[in-house]
Amino acid sequence: MSEETENLAFRLAFREEGSLWACYIARSDNMDDATPISTISMNLVKELPSAKRAFMEMNQIVLDSLVMVVFGTPISHWGDPKSAPEHERSKNGNE
């Protein structure tokens, strides 16, 4: 990974929004100007752990592809998932 991509300050953020689980590309420290990528039914995410994992992996592939196009190098390491900070958590789509 190049130094340029090593210090990118963004992440994938997953948020429950009513009946959907949404994925965004967001800044590493907040959700300001986050860009939505995709959604999946919350029922699938809750009932099928394999669907949740596949959805997360698919979005990693999308972001990795974008980084490859823009910077010419893939993301070499994905950190472990972390819970969203309390100030970022949606209230089940009722913010």
Residue with tokens 């949404």: 22
Do the beta carbons of residue 53 and residue 40 sit within 8 Å? no
Tell me the per-residue pLDDT of 25-81, one tens digit each, with 9 for 90 and over.
Answer: 998 888 899 999 999 999 999 999 999 999 999 999 999 998 899 989 888 778 788
b (16+ CB within 10 A) / e for 61-92: eebeeebeeeeeeebeeeeeeeeeeeeeeeee
Q: In a 3-state reduction of DSSP, which class is residue 20?
A: strand
* pTM, rounded to two decimals: 0.77
